[in-house]
Amino acid sequence: MQNLVLYRKYRPKNFSQVINQEHIKTTLANAVSNNRIGHAYLFVGPRGVGKTTLARIFARAINCPNRKNSEPCNTCEICKSFLESTSLDLLEIDAASHTGVDNIRELIDHLQFAPSKATFKVIIVDEVHMLSKGAFNALLKTLEEPPQHAVFILATTEVHKVPATIISRTQRFDFKKVSIADLSKLLRFISQDTNLKITDGALLEIAAASDGSFRDGLSLLDQVMNYASGEVTEELTEQVLGLTGTRTVSSFLDLIGANQTQAAVDFIGQLLYSGRDLYQFQKDFLEYLRKLLLTKVGVSADFGFNVEFQDKIKEQAQQLSIDRITKIIENFQKAENEIKWTSIQSLPLELAAIAATQMQTDLVPIIARSEATKQPQSVEKITAPVGNGNNPLDSIIQHWPQILEKIKDYNHSLISSLKLAQPVGVENKELILLFPYKFHKDAIEARKNRIIVDQVIEEVTGVKVLVKPMLSKDWKGEVKNEKDSPLQAALKIMGGEVE
């Protein structure tokens, strides 16, 4: 997804253009102007925050003969050859693709020769944690006795994978993520500079989606520019980037807060239908809930919202209790773990939405009933079954299509599993549902899904049962209504058994 046109064009070329990492750029600039150059630096921090950018500025600054204070001129022969990566005195390697000891040996051999034109030979090793053990050992030997003219700049996103022996030989700098405010300031400048019309809301969306990374921010802005014909709005940004966007998560919260189960589940369906990344939506919604909670308890922080959403979130915070917000967070946090593993991506979100919209009042009787194994008295109050006679199983089998239809209203994705299910018996108020595949059985077995199925069966047939999903091959009893499950029948004919 990386589109690096803007990133290359607007990459800072001297210290003063770097709008973040103040402490680091000051220290490095002072080292340059005081001529106190170390032999090895370690740049630690997340991706896209300017580690290699600062490494390159530093490399030019210590070599430029026309340096002004600490800034490289960027026009002399040396600066140009460094900028164009044609100098033999600047070596950049990506340790991710050059992990071996041979690559490092080659570097070290090269270091034996004095610089061709510059004062220092600068070696930038990106993602240094990827080096092999042998390569680290070779590097360590050089760092213990570096040639006078050598300057190493090692960059890493995962410093815990860099041996302590290496770290102790370096001067370490820890880079921070870029703040949303700084990033949107930069994005605004670039938009103006490129004559792009873009709303503040859209800029904030992009900044917030970049997760503190310049590179991601500029790459996202690039993508949006490629789509825009007129002014770039927040909506367009959301569409183009497939972001969830503040507007989306805020509307979703409105539905949850108003206990609109069906609308909330539909909402998720629409996100899925329009190709949104549900995992991202989940993350964004949680982030929004966090901000809501902070607002509720009176923490005033810069959430990167425009005025509209600053007001909106305050309003929402007033409407919901702390307890309620915390419970919603719990529901959706649980979904976050599950969404990565489930093959029905919308299911965990739908479950969370159902739980979160029914926790106030409506869910109470359902929860009570799910504990009904311990309280069989509730089962006594069965209203007259709609089905023929008193056999609850007959009634359920008879109404199975209506039951499925109704479940669809609650949760679309449950249907694909339930379609394969076969109700075969009621034992001790438990309805045995047979599934040919373990995957579908497991999907229905999740407690929240069982509750939905229980409830719908009762609504349609008046029969109170607790569903008990089971694999077909584990069922020893008879199968009463084979024609309800064509798959099962087909399997039987073929003599197959599936798990």
Positions touching Zn ion (CB under 5 A) are: 64, 66, 72-73, 76, 79
**What CA–CA distance (Å, rounded) separates 20 from 183?**
9
Cβ proximity to Zn ion, 87 vs 316, nearer residue: 87
Tell me the closest approach of the beta carbon of residue 124 to Zn ion, in angstroms: 18
Cβ proximity to Zn ion, 66 vs 310, nearer residue: 66
Q: Are 406 and 380 in contact (CB under 8 A)?
A: no
Tell me the closest approach of the beta carbon of residue 12 to Zn ion, in angstroms: 15
* HEC assignment per residue over the chain: CCCCHHHHHCCCCCHHHCCCCHHHHHHHHHHHHCCCCCCEEEEECCCCCCHHHHHHHHHHHCCCCCCECCECCCCCHHHHHHHCCCCCCEEEEECCCCCCHHHHHHHHHHHCCCCCCCCCEEEEEECHHHCCHHHHHHHHHHHHCCCCCEEEEEEECCHHHCCHHHHCCCEEEECCCCCHHHHHHHHHHHHHHCCCCECHHHHHHHHHHCCCCHHHHHHHHHHHHHHCCCCECHHHHHHHHCCCHHHHHHHHHHHHHCCCHHHHHHHHHHHHHCCCCHHHHHHHHHHHHHHHHHHHCCCCCCCCCCHHHHHHHHHHHHHCCHHHHHHHHHHHHHHHHHHCCCCCCCHHHHHHHHHHHHCCCCHHHHHHHHCCCCCCHHHHCCCCCCCCCCCHHHHHHHCHHHHHHHHHHHCHHHHHHHCCCEEEEEECCEEEEEECCHHHHHHHHCHHHHHHHHHHHHHHHCCCCEEEEEEHHHCCCCCCCHHHCHHHHHHHHHCCCCC
Cβ proximity to Zn ion, 76 vs 366, nearer residue: 76
Tell me the closest approach of the beta carbon of residue 52 to Zn ion, in angstroms: 19
Q: Are 356 and 331 in contact (CB under 8 A)?
A: yes
Cβ proximity to Zn ion, 105 vs 149, nearer residue: 149
Tell me the closest approach of the beta carbon of residue 8 to Zn ion, in angstroms: 20
Cβ proximity to Zn ion, 75 vs 390, nearer residue: 75
Tell me the closest approach of the beta carbon of residue 92 to Zn ion, in angstroms: 18
Cβ proximity to Zn ion, 64 vs 203, nearer residue: 64
Structure tokens at 160: 């815990």
**Backbone dihedral region of 443: left (phi > 0), alpha (psi from -120 to 50 degrees) or beta?**
alpha
Cβ proximity to Zn ion, 87 vs 246, nearer residue: 87
Cβ proximity to Zn ion, 30 vs 66, nearer residue: 66
Cβ proximity to Zn ion, 72 vs 245, nearer residue: 72
Cβ proximity to Zn ion, 76 vs 101, nearer residue: 76
Tell me the closest approach of the beta carbon of residue 30 to Zn ion, in angstroms: 19
Tell me the closest approach of the beta carbon of residue 79 to Zn ion, in angstroms: 3
Tell me the closest approach of the beta carbon of residue 252 to Zn ion, in angstroms: 53
Tell me the closest approach of the beta carbon of residue 349 to Zn ion, in angstroms: 55
Tell me the closest approach of the beta carbon of residue 70 to Zn ion, in angstroms: 12
Tell me the closest approach of the beta carbon of residue 66 to Zn ion, in angstroms: 5
Cβ proximity to Zn ion, 73 vs 286, nearer residue: 73
